[in-house]
Amino acid sequence: MAQHCDIFRDLFHPDAYFYPSPDFRILYPDPQNLEILNPVFCGNTLKAEDAIREPLVEFSIAKNDQFYTLMMVNLDGNIYEENREVLHWLVSNIPGQDISKGKTLCPYLQPLPLKNTGYHRICFVLFKQESKYDDYALEKINISHPQIFAERTFNAPEFYLKNQDQLTPVGLAFCQMEWDKSCTTCFHEILNMEQPIYDFEWPKPHFEKQEEFPEEYKAFNEVSVIRDIDREILQKRLKRVSPFENERKKLKFPNIFHYDERTDMPTWRQLEKIRENQGYGKYDGLYRNPIDN
């Protein structure tokens, strides 16, 4: 499912992937009832209002003498740079399973899917550290004002590339969220900025200028087979007559014997044969010669 949603491609590299541990779980307590937990699986949909507070993070694979790094990013929500992510949460040097004892490099910010942009992919990645590690390339960027949305611009592939000797991804969970009113509240009250709103610009309809006598050669003027219809009908009529016999007259019920021919002809040929027998359209000349009138 992660490959189908291009999670590995946008987090690491188009050809990179790993097998996430099933013991890594992200659980959001329901705002109305804290006993109800909304889990983050593999692409399930959650409400943004359910993710206002930090989630519960569980990973039983952790060892007490091992350090971990937890990263949370929005792959589709950056409004400042193309092909960049939004960093919502980053905690390093987590001893065992106790996230509260880790070092918070970027404080938690609720997911902010933008209005009229559909579902956004919210990803949680758990990295195993080789040792306690403080020289993160992220610290050099210095997110000193996490309440400023622009400072949360993040490049996840570059971050992992610079720290790949110390970090190994072991856990992955992601969900999809779309805009709701909690996003507007967060933009106004926490980030102190106007909410970005996107609208789809439909292309304007194109109407060809009407001309009484078009000068251009139109497609319907082209005929794949150009022939003299009158000459063709005359030749067909002459084949039906003999100088020693009277000219064939139009039958009163011309299609009464047509039933036997239906099994040997395609439909379009059957319809053409009916028109010919009845003298409709161009076949009128088979039975009525304008010269005879």
What pLDDT score does 140 carry?
Answer: 46
Q: For residue 260, which phi and psi values (nearest 5 degrees)?
A: -70, -25
Q: What is the pLDDT along the chain (293 residues), one digit of tens a residue?
A: 888 888 998 898 888 888 888 888 999 999 888 888 999 988 899 999 999 999 999 887 767 788 999 999 999 999 999 889 999 999 998 988 888 889 888 899 999 999 999 999 999 999 998 888 766 655 444 566 677 888 899 999 999 888 888 899 999 999 999 999 999 999 999 999 999 999 888 888 888 777 776 666 565 555 555 667 788 888 888 888 887 877 777 778 877 766 666 677 788 888 888 888 888 888 888 887 655 55
What pLDDT score does 261 carry?
Answer: 66
Which run of H or E residues covers position 158?
helix 156-163
What pLDDT score does 239 carry?
Answer: 85
What pLDDT score does 188 carry?
Answer: 93
The structure's pTM equals 0.66
What pLDDT score does 141 carry?
Answer: 47
CB-based contacts of 47, cutoff 8 Å, min separation 6: 177, 180
What pLDDT score does 46 carry?
Answer: 93
122 close to 156: Cβ distance less than 8 angstroms: no
Rounded Cα distance between 262 and 256, Å, is 12
Read off the amino acid at residue 123.
C
CB atoms within 10 A of CB 89: 22
What pLDDT score does 64 carry?
Answer: 75
